[in-house]
């Protein structure tokens, strides 16, 4: 599961040769995580570790995985700038390929986050790419309005995305529905990491803004993130292979 030669924009500054697949290993059981990671060896481009795995299994377990595989550490930090910057500093030894903060934490929080990563890694290609989460893919317009945001998901993603990239984010987490508009606004270099992916015929679960792997690839996703359609499949390796095939033929 090594990083592909032609990594995407923001990592080596070249246009993405293809959309890469991240498997979200959302489990509290370290043995299940180990089984899934072994099964997916060579089938996916990176492993996503999020709140469930990290809070349940601990940082040492995350560190062990990050030492052997490209890891997207998705802890979605959201606090005052000083606290988020200190939290990110503590994560640096794990050297994740990608890591997340919430764009809604604001410009200063994002800028301080980028500074911390820059101080720790300089211009090294090992510097974790800082992603700002725009609007969660589980939210729709009604959900946004309920929390006092009188905008469509697309409008809010573009607003937060522009601000986050100006402030120093390398990329954004968004749904596939916003990729085209984000590429128009921000160009080809920004990393667009896209969850809410469902192969045709699979259930959406709690995701609201979904698209298929092929649709996300055609729209210009740098990476797609797929959890349950892989981890809850009878044969996770086969599910991942089918998604890679769909990406390759998109």
Ligand X SMILES: O=c1ccn([C@@H]2O[C@H](COP(=O)(O)O)[C@@H](O)[C@H]2O)c(=O)[nH]1
User: What positions carry a catalytic annotation?
Assistant: 74, 76, 79
131 binds ligand X (CB under 6 A): no
For residues 220 and 192, is the Cβ–Cβ distance under 8 A? yes
Using the rule CB under 6 A, which residue among 65, 160, 173, 224 binds ligand X?
A: 173
How big is the site for ligand X, counted in residues (CB under 6 A)? 16
- Per-residue x/- marks for ligand X, 23-62, CB under 6 A? -x-x---------------------x-x------------
153 binds ligand X (CB under 6 A): no
Smaller CB distance to ligand X: residue 120 or 237?
237
137 binds ligand X (CB under 6 A): yes
| Residue 136 C-beta: closest distance to ligand X, Å | 4
Secondary structure of 190-250 in HEC code, one letter for each residue: CEEEECCECCCCCCCCCCCCCECHHHHHHHCCCEEEECHHHHCCCCHHHHHHHHHHHHHCC
- Give the whole-angstrom CA distance, residue 198 versus residue 1: 22
- Give the whole-angstrom CA distance, residue 24 versus residue 31: 15
Q: Which of 172, 195, 207 is nearest to 23 (CA)?
A: 195
Q: Which residues bind ligand X (CB under 6 A)?
A: 24, 26, 48, 50, 133, 136-137, 173, 195-196, 205, 207, 225-228
């Amino acid at each position: 599961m090594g990083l592909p030669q032609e990594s995407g924009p923001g990592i080596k500054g070249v246009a993405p040769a293809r959309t890469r697949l991240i498997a979200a290993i959302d489990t509290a059981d370290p043995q299940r995580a180990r089984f899934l990671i072994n099964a997916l060896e060579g089938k996916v481009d990176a492993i996503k570790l999020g709140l469930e795995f990290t809070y349940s299994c601990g940082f040492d377990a995350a560190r062990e995985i990050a030492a052997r595989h490209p890891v997207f550490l998705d802890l979605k930090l959201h606090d005052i700038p000083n606290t988020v910057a200190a939290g990110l500093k503590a994560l640096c030894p794990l050297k994740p390929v990608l890591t997340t903060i919430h764009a809604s934490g604001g410009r200063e929080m994002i800028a301080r986050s980028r500074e911390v990563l820059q101080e720790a890694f300089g211009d090294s290609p090992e510097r974790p790419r800082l992603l700002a989460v725009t609007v969660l893919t589980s939210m729709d317009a009604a959900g946004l309005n309920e929390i006092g945001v009188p905008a469509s998901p697309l409008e809010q993603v573009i607003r937060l995305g522009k601000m986050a990239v100006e402030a120093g984010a390398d990329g954004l987490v968004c749904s596939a529905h916003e990729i085209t508009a984000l590429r128009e606004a921000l160009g080809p270099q920004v990393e667009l990491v896209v969850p809410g992916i469902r192969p045709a015929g699979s259930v959406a679960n709690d995701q609201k803004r979904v698209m298929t792997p092929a649709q996300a690839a055609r729209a210009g996703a740098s990476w797609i993130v797929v959890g349950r359609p892989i981890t809850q499949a009878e044969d996770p390796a086969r599910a991942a292979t089918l998604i890679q095939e769909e990406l390759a033929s998109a």
